Amino acid sequence: MRLMTPLAVLAGIFSASLATAEAQDYPTNPITVIVPFAAGGPTDTVTRLVAESMSKTLGQQLIVENVGGAGGTLGAARAAEAEPDGYTLLLHHIGMATSATLYRKLPYDPKTAFAPVGLVTEVPMILVSRKDFPANNLQELIAYVKEHKDEVTYANAGVGAASHLCGMLFMQAIETQMTTVPYKGTGPAMTDLLGGQVDLLCDQSTNTTGQIKGGEIKAYGVFADQRLGNLPDIPTVKEGGLDGLSFGIWHGLYAPAGTPEPIVAKLSEALKVALADPKVVERFAELGTAPVPADQATPAALQQKVLSEIDRWKPVIEKAGEYAD
Which of 101, 129, 186, 236 contacts ligand ASP by CB under 6 A?
186
Which of 27, 110, 116, 185 contacts ligand ASP by CB under 6 A?
185
Burial 111-146 (b: 16+ CB within 10 A, else e): eebbbbbbbbbbbbbbbbbbeebebeebeebbebbe
Which of 120, 162, 263, 280 contacts ligand ASP by CB under 6 A?
162
Residue in the shown chain whose Cβ atom is closest to ligand ASP: 41
Q: Which is nearer to ligand ASP, 184 or 272 (CB)?
A: 184
Gap between the Cα atoms of 53 and 280, Å rounded: 8
* Shortest Cβ 102–ligand ASP spacing (Å): 12
- Segment lying near ligand ASP (by CB under 6 A), choices 5-13, 82-90, 179-187, 290-298: 179-187
Are the CB atoms for 269 and 243 separated by under 8 Å? Answer: no
Gap between the Cα atoms of 166 and 203, Å rounded: 8
Does residue 163 touch ligand ASP according to CB under 6 A? Answer: yes
Does residue 76 touch ligand ASP according to CB under 6 A? Answer: no
Which of 27, 41, 288, 299 contacts ligand ASP by CB under 6 A?
41
Which of 101, 180, 204, 259 contacts ligand ASP by CB under 6 A?
204
Are the CB atoms for 227 and 234 separated by under 8 Å? Answer: yes
CA-based Rg of the chain, rounded to a whole angstrom?
A: 21
Are the CB atoms for 99 and 72 separated by under 8 Å? Answer: yes
Q: Which residues pair with 219 in a beta bridge?
A: 128
**What type of residue is 127?**
L
* Shortest Cβ 223–ligand ASP spacing (Å): 13
Interface with ligand ASP by CB under 6 A: which residues? 37-38, 41-43, 93, 156-157, 161-163, 185-187, 203-204
